[in-house]
Chain A
Amino acid sequence: MKKGRFSSATLLLSFVLSACTGGENPTGTSTVQGDASGSRLEVVKGRGTLICGINGDVPGFSFVNEQGEYSGIDVDLCRAIAAALFDDPSKIEFRPVSAQERFTAVQAGEVDVLSRNTTWTLNRDTAVGMEFGPTIFYDGQGMMTAKASGITQLKNLEGKSVCVLAGTTTEQNLADRMRKEGVKNYNPVVSDNDDALYAAYEQGRCEAVTSDRSKLVARQSILSKPDEHVLLDVVMSKEPLGPVVANGDSAWYDAVKWITYTLIQAEEFGITSQNLSTFENSQDPNIRRFLGLDEKLGEDMELPNDFASRIIKHVGNYGEIYDRNIGKPFALERDLNNLWTNGGLLYSPPFR
């Protein structure tokens, strides 16, 4: 009786062992090629799918919608790259990466591109060994208060409490800025996560709450009385967010960079996913070059010549992406994230 029990248990052990370490799944083990054997661009094309590192839980940037698909502005950038390479925005493996492992994941080749609300800083660009693509979202730290509190500038916070996320650059920025403004007595109320942070604010445990402006606006819309709160007209830090690839792979970096610029340039030309077909007979030489009707801009960087029209067809231009993910759901003004022609910072170098 006992013998049978134990022999089958031993079998069980050996089978499970072989199943989990053997990697019966063909995608289980795949080769990661170093820089020497070619650019990542070739690796991605050869693989047929793009591996995109995302955050997974930032409103407007990357989250799971009801259909069980990732969605958000970071996610749409990944889709644009896949659309340019494969003419199919679904050929992506999304890989949620934590804040700690994100740069390691890029260096080890775990992800091809990191589109994970990552701030472009000197240190990350140089010492950490990353290469930053064009900024797709200019964020900055802001401050929200109740209208009734009478606080209109940071100086008014003397002796007041401010809710802030623990252990982030936000906390550091707040301290720096307050010292600069000469506010000596303020009481930071720290919380561990966003939900706790805004719950504390709503319960009145602090007079003001500070975080990235995009987050503040998103959260304001779900407070019990959104109209009674207001964002102060201060930007306490610069947070340019954009795609990241590994250092030392110029071909892949160029591809990601120009795919990102395509989104901006398309908006500048006024080409959207809706009206794309009307531009096919355009006489404007700039637009003809951009859409790959004349000359061969795509080939210069080993992309198909119609990469721009593929992107616009599947994902839309920057304005469409912004409206879909941030503008409509949160009613956040474009401000800095507008085209340079409309007073923003988005500016694409010429496509020629």
Chain B
Amino acid sequence: MTTTTNLGSKPPVNSVSPLTWVKKNLFSTWYNGILTILSLLFLYGIGSGLLRWTFTQAQWGVIGANLRLFFVGLYPQTLIWRPWTSLGIIIIMGGFSWGILTRKGAIFSRTTLIILGILGATCVALSIPAGIQSSLLLWGMLFLLIIGAVVGRRVGTRIPAIANWLPLIWLVTFFVLLWLLEGGLFLRQVRRDDLSGLILTLFVAIVSIVLSFPFGVLLALGRQSSLPAIRWLSIAYIELIRGLPLIGILFMAQVMLPLVLPSGVRLERVVRAIAGFTIFTAAYLAENVRGGLQSVPRGQVEAAKALGLSIPLVLIFIVLPQAIKAVIPTIVGQFISLFKDTSLLAIVGLVDLLGISQSILASPKYLGRYGEIYLFIAVIYWICCYSMSLASRKLENQLGRD
């Protein structure tokens, strides 16, 4: 937010006092005044009720006692170091990428400092329900984040090309994490179907997002193809899938697939769910990307062809970068809704964040504590979704600058 000002004359002083602001904006006419008062009463009614419930009636012990269950679910307790290590790796890699991507600007701007401060305070606050040990570990994670950022910045300024390899680095990280979480190769095996809680939610969401994106782009291109077979198949796929509810597709994947598959082959349930989400989201993404493709002026393609580029090269270097950039907000919107849709896993019998909450709610000790638990997981879902939309806005700014 920088404004160009004339050095000669000072900007006009903002002389609006709070009282005049209130008068101008909230009580400008008699009906606005009534509306303001009614809204305030409404907000007071809701807010005070919520606050009273939060501080007097709610029994937050259920969250603290089951914190581990929410995050890692039924993951074997003796192997709990593996999710922690995975988190550490993700955080250090996140810091590293952050450092590389922000190497041109200031790394510790006011906003980032505020966010870091909030994170630090949250880690301290978590020591009350989760114990001092977890709190210290989280502080360590924050430290790792900063180290990663500083290192990333150094490396990024020295070898700028590394930014192009970030997707590949993350890919390798993904497989390291997969190995760490599931075992195999020197580590004790943990069944993929045993992943539960937030880990499962994140796993399904991330893999489905990564898989559905290329499928969606291919379908969008297929729909615009000049080859009738490809075009009609793409259209048929997109329209068929978009005409089905997601929960129906997930049920088909869980219930029908085993009956259809040749006897002897059994896909894991998590993989089946990921397949369902990918099939569904790809169809929607295809339409989003098609919107982007249509926004690229024909002249771009013609100019590229005139320069002698082959059709794949035209697509990869001219059309797709412009098309996808134009539709980033809708694509991210699709991903956010995919993330929230993972809560449907609980209905098809997988124990995701919502599923583990329902299992905890069935424990005789915590019967009826649904208010606390649902509020807690709502906050988790919100944090995840809001981070996604923040990241997308950053990405848009960055691409807009290039």
Contacts and interface: CB of A to CB of B under 8 A. Distances in A.
Contact of A25 (B165, B192, B265, B269): B192
A330 B364 contact: yes
A28 B165 contact: no
A70 B74 CA distance: 9
Given A12-B167, A34-B263, A93-B191, A2 B207 contact: no
Interface stretch (A59-67, A266-274, A336-344): A59-67
Nearest to B360: A64
A9 B360 contact: no
Contact of A66 (B65, B161, B174): B65
A100 to B, nearest CB: 7
Contact of B359 (A12, A57, A100, A222): A57
B134 to A, nearest CB: 15
Interface in A81-110: 93, 95-98, 100-101, 104-105, 107-110
Given A56-B359, A57-B358, A101-B251, A108 B258 contact: yes
A5 B167 contact: yes
A127 interface: no
Interface string B164-194: 1111101100110010001010000101111
A348 to B, nearest CB: 28
A24 B175 CA distance: 11
A105 B266 CA distance: 12
Interface string A61-82: 0111111111000000000000
B349 A96 contact: yes
Contact of B363 (A15, A19, A65, A105): A65
A30 B360 contact: no
Contact of B69 (A12, A29, A64, A222): A64
A21 B271 contact: yes
Contacts of B77: 67-68
B255 A24 contact: no
B251 A28 contact: no
A56 B355 contact: yes
A315 B382 CA distance: 42
B356 interface: yes
Nearest to B169: A8
B264 to A, nearest CB: 5
A122 interface: no
Nearest to B214: A13
Interface string A21-37: 10111111111101000
B178 A68 contact: no
A1 B166 CA distance: 12
Contacts of A21: 271
A16 B268 CA distance: 16
Interface residues of B, number: 65
Nearest to A196: B370
A20 interface: yes
Nearest to B172: A15
A66 to B, nearest CB: 6
B243 to A, nearest CB: 21
A195 interface: yes
A96 B161 contact: no
A329 interface: yes
Given A57-B362, A100-B251, A8 B259 contact: no
**Which range holds the interface residue count of chain A?**
35 or more
A281 B65 CA distance: 45
Contact of A16 (B66, B207, B316): B207
B267 interface: yes
Interface string B189-213: 1011110000000000001001100
Contacts of A13: 210-211, 214
Nearest to A329: B364
Interface string A210-247: 00000000110110000000000000000000000000
B254 interface: yes
Nearest to B357: A57
A31 B271 contact: no
A128 interface: no
Interface string B350-387: 11000110111111110110100000000000000000
Contact of A63 (B165, B263, B363): B363
A322 to B, nearest CB: 14
A329 to B, nearest CB: 4
A308 B365 CA distance: 32
Contacts of B148: none
A24 B184 contact: yes
A198 interface: yes
B351 A28 contact: no
B164 A1 contact: yes
Contacts of B361: 57, 195
Contacts of A56: 349, 351, 355, 358-359, 362
B347 interface: yes
A198 to B, nearest CB: 7
A4 B355 contact: no
B363 A64 contact: yes
Pairs A-B, 10 closest by C-beta atoms: A4-B164, A63-B362, A329-B364, A64-B359, A8-B168, A108-B258, A57-B362, A57-B358, A195-B370, A8-B167
Interface of B: 65-66, 68-69, 73-75, 77, 161, 164-168, 170-171, 174-175, 178, 182, 184, 189, 191-194, 207, 210-211, 214, 251, 254-255, 258-259, 263-269, 271, 274, 316-317, 321, 347-351, 355-356, 358-365, 367-368, 370
Given A105-B258, A198-B368, 19 more contacts: A1-B164, A5-B167, A16-B211, A23-B267, A25-B268, A27-B192, A28-B192, A29-B265, A29-B266, A34-B263, A56-B355, A57-B362, A60-B364, A64-B363, A68-B69, A96-B350, A96-B355, A101-B349, A329-B365
7 contacts: A11-B167, A20-B211, A23-B267, A26-B189, A28-B268, A68-B77, A96-B349
